[in-house]
Amino acid sequence: MNHDLQSVIESVRAGDARALARAISTVENHAPGWSDLLKALFPHTGKARIIGLTGAPGAGKSTLVDHLARLYRKEKRTVGIVAVDPTSPYTGGAILGDRIRMQEHFSDPGIYIRSMATRGSLGGLARATADVTTVLDASGRDVILIETVGVGQDEVDIVRLAYITIVILVPGMGDDVQTIKAGIMEIADIFVINKSDHEGAERVEREIRAMQALSARHDGWTPPIVKTVASEGQGIEQLALVIAEYEAYLEKENRAQKKSVNNWQQRLVEMLRDAMLEKARAQLGDGNLARFAAEVAEHKRDPYSLVEEIASRSSD
């Protein structure tokens, strides 16, 4: 390992906030050296508890994350927050209350907040989030909270990398459990019904229970349901408790290990796909894709042979 890289790794692991920010930017932007950095950091990862929180826009994710972060700080655990959402208060377009909360956090070196600015570029958001999380993990954060809006496949991919996934629902808003993407419901280890001060929290709870009665999880865990009023800090301790219970559950019978193997199986496929695609693109060169597309559109070429040809060329 060269001397510069060595010193970057040491600064990141020592918890230096500027080194951490720089390392994250390098990884996020695929700046020169990004993959060497990740290779060198990886051996130092695997200790952080990665908790993913997902839910509809405005469900109260940031407010919950904020309270959880405070609670963990009281327990003297260090926290990293990754907000994967352009509309998140953490991106700076914050309403006043959020901004004040953020400043409070910024004065505490035990909390590091990062929002993911880019969407869909450089191999996808899920991949970028995973890589940023790797850097945070290597920096020795005890807990990493990932906030993401639960709307699409990207989000499902993102929460998949979490050790614990929390799905946040709210009463009303027309989002009955049935209408929520099945994919999102299936990944929940814990359900939170936030805004329980609003009417209809019981109904959401009944709907989740009904759904759970229809399909049991393979691992036998029944995701608990926690009602919260995040804006008042209500239910946060209960949430932290069920998180700890699920952690304890995972520690038994090698479940954590199995979960990790499963996650890596998926992530390796994604990483391979990215790498292969990058290679094929390089092989193709600029402009050729448009030329090939035109040829296929005009039926001068069949796309099946073309793809086979490009794939075999780029595998050399």
Ligand X SMILES: Nc1nc2c(ncn2[C@@H]2O[C@H](COP(=O)(O)OP(=O)(O)OP(=O)(O)O)[C@@H](O)[C@H]2O)c(=O)[nH]1
Q: Which of 85, 131, 137, 155 binds ligand X (CB under 6 A)?
A: 85
Amino acid code (one letter) for 81? I
Examine residue 109 and tell whether it contacts ligand X (CB under 6 A). no
In the shown chain, the binding pattern of residues 15 to 54 toward ligand X, with x for contact by CB under 6 A and - for none, equals ----------------------------------------
Q: Judging by beta carbons within 10 Å of its beta carbon (0-12, 13-18, 19+), is residue 107 exposed, middle or buried? A: exposed
Examine residue 195 and tell whether it contacts ligand X (CB under 6 A). yes
Nearer Cβ to ligand X (56/280): 56
CB of 82 to Mg ion, least distance (A): 12
Examine residue 165 and tell whether it contacts Mg ion (CB under 5 A). no
Quick one: residue 189, left, alpha or beta (phi over 0 = left, psi -120 to 50 = alpha)? Answer: alpha
Q: Which long-range contacts (CB under 8 A, 24 or more apart) does 211-220 make?
A: 211/177, 211/185, 219/255
Nearer Cβ to ligand X (63/134): 63
CB of 86 to ligand X, least distance (A): 9
Nearer Cβ to ligand X (138/162): 162
With a CB cutoff of 8 Å and minimum separation 6, the contacts of 312 are none
Q: Output the CA–CA distances (angstroms, integers) from residue 135 to 128, 176, 250, 251, in the order listed.
A: 11, 37, 24, 24
d(CA 284, CA 264): 30
Residue 141, binding choice from ligand X, Mg ion, none, Cβ under 5 to 8 Å by partner class: none
Residue 19, binding choice from ligand X, Mg ion, none, Cβ under 5 to 8 Å by partner class: none
Residues counted in the chain = 316
Examine residue 194 and tell whether it contacts ligand X (CB under 6 A). yes
Using CB under 6 A, list all residues that contact ligand X.
55, 57-63, 85, 87-89, 149, 194-195, 197, 229-231
